[in-house]
Amino acid sequence: MFKKISNIFLMLFLTSSMMSCESGNEERTATLEDKLVASFSSSTEENRESVAAIVAASKEKNYAKAMNDLAILASTQINTPEQKQAIKFLMTQLRFSMEDQDAAN
């Protein structure tokens, strides 16, 4: 009797562990560019266009342009904490990507 109950609890534990691992993968699919876009989604049209240009430059691996535009965006307005964090994280990623690109050449 005790063995059956312990097996049931073990199966429930393993099943719930597997389910929680699967749901965590969905949260990690957003890139830093996506987080930047999301943080500026309620901003002005001009800011959203600037963010779109930054994301496009980043995807085209034009890191210098993306970093310059990102610095301009960061310094020309008062940003929310979420926007500041998204800018900081993307700036760090772009800097590392730029260094990697320079090292490869």
Q: pLDDT tens digit string along 22-67?
A: 554 444 457 899 999 999 999 899 999 999 999 999 999 999 999 9
Q: Give the angle subtended at the CA of 47 by the CAs of 35 and 27, to the nearest 5°.
A: 10
80-105 pLDDT, tens digit each:
999 999 999 999 999 998 888 888 87
Interatomic CA distance for residues 2 and 63, integer angstroms: 62
State if pTM tops 0.75.
Answer: no
Give me the pLDDT at residue 25, please.
46
> If you ran DSSP here, which 8-state letter would residue 77 be given?
S
Confidence of residue 14 (pLDDT cuts 50, 70, 90): low
The CA angle 54-74-97, to the nearest 5 degrees, is: 45
Q: How is the chain split among helix, strand and coil, in percent rounded to 5?
A: 80, 0, 20
State the pLDDT confidence band at 6, using cuts at 50, 70 and 90. low
